Every structure is written in structure tokens, then in C-alpha cells.
Amino acid sequence: MHRLVLASTSRYRAELLARLRLAFDSANPDVDERPLPGEAPGSLALRLAGTKAEAVAARRPDAVVIGSDQVASCDGQVLGKPATREAAIAQLQAMSGREAVFLTAVAVTGPGSPVAHALDTTTVRFRPLADDDIARYIELEQPLDCAGSFKCEGLGIALFDAIESRDPTALVGLPLIATARLLRARGFAVP
């Protein structure tokens, strides 16, 4: 059996993949994540997941590699990782009382096999958020490294009225239902 490698340094993705109880390594894919001009959010997520998997597979030709990427959008506007408190406040203010769509892609590649992809769509309905609520949330959870400026696996869940998804793990960053299916197709023993 080939070694499994997660093309990510995200602790969130590593924690999710660990749920499948498969031994794996993590590697930094070191790819440019900027969108191409006019690139749709779903296309961007799929392209980046595949690019990450292929970048690590080029360095680890003996391994099966998983790449993943998540793109958040509100009214067609892509929302990246905020990086600053001010950007996080602006993102949450823009989504207050509205819906945002999170497209989470996974790609698996490995020795002698083409890249296989899957894409999960999650819709999040934010409750109306007061500026004090936003400031308090950002102070408590520091979601500056998360697309959309929240952590649904933590306190961020309190920002929502509803979440609609086929896979609850997708919103955290790795759709495990699709990942397990793609790994089973590669011969991994995932129940």
C-alpha cells in the first residue's frame, strides 16, 4: 500500500483526516492560491485542490496525495482568509443576515493514477450580527486564518441561523464523505 500524504499544513484538515484512522504525513504544497481572472468559486476550489495534490505528488511520487481547498463567497464575491482583525470584521459585517456559500474541494492523486476530484457545497445563513457581537467573536476566537472569518467547529456556530450541507465536515475544510470514497477507490481500507 502506498503512503498517504495530506497536501496541507492546516491543523483543521489534519484533525479531520485523522478521523479516518489512516496513517498519513502532511506536506506544504507551496502553491499560488490567487484566483485566475473571472474564475468561478467552484472552479477555483477544484483547481487549487488538484494543484496542491499534484505539487506534493511531484515531490512524493511513491505516495497517494490528498489536496483540498475551500472557497467562500457571498453574492458571488470570493471571501478569502482575512489575515487581519479589520478584514475579519468587514467580512462578518458583509455576511450579517445573509447567506454565504462554501465550496470545499478534495483531490486525490498518486502513482499511475489521474487526479480524482469531488466538490461539496455548504450554504450558511448568518443571523443578523451586531458590531459588538462581531468584535467579541473575533476577540475570543481569532478566526484570521479561516475563509469567511469564522470557525464553525468552535464558537462561530453561534453566528448562524442555519447550515445546509451533505457533509458537515466540509465546512471545516475537508469533506470526509468524498475523501473516504476517493481513498476507497485507491484501495485504502476506510470503513
Whole-angstrom distance, CA of residue 29 vs CA of residue 92: 29
Give the chain's domain count.
Answer: 1
Catalytic residue among 30, 32, 62, 69: 69
Per the annotation, the verdict on 32 as an active-site residue is: no
- In a 3-state reduction of DSSP, which class is residue 41? helix
| 191 inside domain | no
pLDDT, tens digit only, all 191 positions of the chain:
689 999 999 888 999 999 999 999 999 999 998 889 989 999 999 999 999 999 999 999 999 999 999 998 998 888 888 999 999 999 999 999 999 999 999 999 999 889 999 999 999 999 999 999 999 999 999 888 888 888 888 888 899 999 999 999 998 889 999 999 999 999 999 98
Specify the pLDDT at position 1: 65
CATH number of the domain encompassing residue 27: 3.90.950.10
Q: How far apart are the first and last CA of the chain?
A: 16
DSSP state of 21: -
